[in-house]
Amino acid sequence: MPRDIPVGNGSMLVAFDREYQIRDFYYPHVGQENHSIGHPSRMGVWVDGQFSWLNSEWQKILNYKEDTLVTDVKAKNNRLKIELQMYDTVDFHLNIFVKEIIVRNLEGRDREIRLFFNHDFHIYGNEVGDTAYYDPDTRAVIHYKAQRYFLINCCDPNKCGIDHFATGIKEVLGAEGTWRDAEDGKLSGNPIAQGSVDSTLGINLEVKAYGENVAHYWIAAGTKHREVVRLNKIIWEKTPEELIRRTENYWKLWVNKEMINFYDLPQKIVSFFKRSLLIIRTQIDAHGAIIAANDSDIISMGRDTYSYMWPRDGALVAYALIKCGYMDVTKQFFKFCAEVLSAEGYLLHKYNPDGSFASSWHPWLKDNQKSLPIQEDGIALVIWALWNHYHEFRDIEFVKPLYKSLIINTAEFMVRFRDEETGLPLSSYDLWEERYGVHTFTVSAVIAGLRAAGNFACAFGEQEYGRKYYDIANNMKNALITYFYQEKEERFARMGTKTLKGYELDMTADASLFGLVTLDVFSPELSIIASTMNAVKEELRVKTSVGGVARYTNDYYHQVSNDIERIPGNPWFICTLWLADYEIAKARNLTELNSVLSIVEWVVDRAFASGVLAEQVNPYTNEPLSVSPLTWSHAAFVTVLVKYMEKREKIAVCAECGNSVLYMHRHAQKPCDSELH
């Protein structure tokens, strides 16, 4: 089930499903240590002897307050004649998840309404050895195991502390948990349970006829008992309202830090641009790891998740943030990459948020020989993104310690990792992590990475290194044409497998071929590029009412149709946005440029009401498929919109003075880079 509304602060991430149940609870890293691993933590209401969990019986609207990471959720139950307005957030500074609940009584008489909250923790990602107990000093329930503590509490306008509680056993001998105990409106008061446990707590509210009352609920996370007790005290002193207010203000400042002029773009596109930036931020760990996606439901496919830092995803997300002026959060990403880089200068398949090597299906042995389990595109893209960071911010003191350890070390690896005969990269895994060989996208990324390394070398006065990297990149570009462009088909191959006579080519249409342009390897005006892009557009266009662009012909991942002629694969947001990126690159006037907005609107129209984008959608129904939110999807949208505005600025030039009549970027003029590529 998709994660409709994630909220977080870089150390804690809380994600709800479409039924407004907490399904993922990460701490102390975004993407690492999911303390609920997909098990729902429920909220319910008791009134007049009737009970209802917030399930499908409730009419719900899940959204965010504009320009914030504070949710704005409405839930109405016609049977109970109750309406709830709820605001959830994770404090921007403290590891506290806090919820405000406004309870509206739709009956013409005074009523007692009880709110219940269930917690199905699996601390450290498993249910063994947890403890849940009622703490009389704080009037709260605490879950703990080893160095993880979670204190859960409530307050109403008159007092702090819970009115009902129960702890108990779950998932053992048929026990469902204490949430069942709440359904009669009362809890047993069992003060402690250990093993596989859950808890439920409740608070009573008196609500006048046609009136409303308010309650607050929070979860404080820490590594020690005294830490969560201290956080609980801070909440009492500052009040939950103040934590929500200050966090709302913080995110409004964060997402509006740059003075971007959106001109006449529709407001829904502008709002979605900002929403994408905020959702991206929820998926980034405070220590620099940019996580692909945090949606534990994907576990059901292969007993693994997307909660890892792929260098490929991370670099492309960092690039999007760089284009929007976010220097500090991207600096942390590059520091992370420098710390995990191997001594030989390569990055592995993927990493955990704490920097340890993550699970992988890339083997170290192939054809009875050692084979590096790498995707070279991800390695190269990190250096490409880092050059864009430096070009944007000119922060030489940040780059200086990375120059030898990350930039030159990685560039020298890319130089060594080449075929002596052709000059093309050696075989590695493709960006889709499915095929082993030499891939057009990977070659494009390596060319972009070597050019970036050349730029750095020249900037640091090491012209010899710079010329070497430029020359190798140029020779690789020529080799790519020589070996991978097919005159008969008038397009590039997606990959080749090295043979004694050259390369055996795979001519399957693949959206990754857009990388030839999006990474600035070739001009979009070249005939060999135009013919390639036209072929990709036609062959990968999804020919149903849903539309969009597939990854490649006969894409098997989450495949819902064998009608390959009409549906080469499910439409992916990133692939559809790559088409927009290409159209922007080749646009020569405002009419051509503005035609891209139909693709942009296609994306916005297929997001959840909250603004969350999945990885792909069903080609018949538009329903989300695979994980959500996918950080890369949002980054691709941000990148396309920034490029659209930059191209619009470039096109709209004053005939009288020669200057742009539009101003989008915060730099009126950038330093001349005439000798840099």
CATH of the domain at 479: 1.50.10.10
Mean per-residue pLDDT, 280-304 = 90
- Residue 505 has which token pair? 């080519």
> So what's the pLDDT on residue 665?
43
In a domain, 552, yes or no: yes
CA distance 306 to 31: 8
* Same domain (yes/no): 218, 125: yes
User: Is residue 437 a contact partner of residue 423, using CB atoms and an 8 Å limit?
Assistant: no
CA distance 468 to 448: 14
* Same domain (yes/no): 212, 261: no
**Is pLDDT above 60 for 663?**
no
CA distance 460 to 363: 38
Mean per-residue pLDDT, 141-165 = 97
In a domain, 53, yes or no: yes
* Same domain (yes/no): 206, 274: no
* Same domain (yes/no): 308, 434: yes
**Is pLDDT above 60 for 674?**
no
* Same domain (yes/no): 162, 291: no
Summarised one tens digit per residue, pLDDT across range 37-67 is: 999 999 999 999 999 999 999 999 999 999 9
> So what's the pLDDT on residue 677?
42
**Is pLDDT above 80 for 180?**
yes
Q: Look-up: residue for tokens 């929070």?
A: 218
Summarised one tens digit per residue, pLDDT across range 518-541 is: 999 999 999 999 999 999 999 999
* Same domain (yes/no): 627, 562: yes
> So what's the pLDDT on residue 392?
97
Residue type, 286: A
CA distance 336 to 286: 10
Mean per-residue pLDDT, 348-353 = 97
**Is pLDDT above 80 for 175?**
yes
CA distance 612 to 4: 6
The band of 676, judged by pLDDT with boundaries at 50, 70 and 90, is very low
CA neighbours within 13 Å on the CB side: how many for 152? 26
Summarised one tens digit per residue, pLDDT across range 236-271 is: 999 999 999 999 999 999 999 998 889 899 999 999
Mean per-residue pLDDT, 448-468 = 97
> So what's the pLDDT on residue 261?
85
In a domain, 249, yes or no: no
Q: Can you give the residue range of the structural domain that contains 605? A: 257-651
Q: How many domains does the chain have?
A: 2
> So what's the pLDDT on residue 4?
87
* Same domain (yes/no): 47, 111: yes
> So what's the pLDDT on residue 199?
98
* Same domain (yes/no): 613, 502: yes
In a domain, 236, yes or no: no
**Is pLDDT above 60 for 77?**
yes
> So what's the pLDDT on residue 301?
66
CATH of the domain at 61: 2.70.98.10
In a domain, 40, yes or no: yes
Cα 296–Cα 335–Cα 519 angle in degrees, nearest 5: 80
The percent of residues above 70 in pLDDT, for the chain, comes to 96
Mean pLDDT over the full length of the chain: 94
Task: Compute how many other C-beta atoms are within 10 angstroms of the C-beta atom of residue 566.
Answer: 11
* Same domain (yes/no): 220, 288: no
Summarised one tens digit per residue, pLDDT across range 3-13 is: 889 999 999 99
Rg (CA), the chain: 27
**Is pLDDT above 60 for 82?**
yes
**Is pLDDT above 70 for 660?**
no
In a domain, 250, yes or no: no
**Is pLDDT above 90 for 173?**
no
Q: How many residues does the chain have?
A: 677
* Same domain (yes/no): 273, 219: no
Summarised one tens digit per residue, pLDDT across range 186-224 is: 999 999 999 999 999 999 999 999 999 999 999 999 999
* Same domain (yes/no): 205, 341: no
In a domain, 239, yes or no: no
Task: Compute how many other C-beta atoms are within 10 angstroms of the C-beta atom of residue 27.
Answer: 24
* Same domain (yes/no): 319, 423: yes
The band of 336, judged by pLDDT with boundaries at 50, 70 and 90, is very high
In a domain, 245, yes or no: no
Q: Look-up: residue for tokens 């070279």?
A: 376
- Residue 162 has which token pair? 């819970």
**Is pLDDT above 80 for 296?**
yes
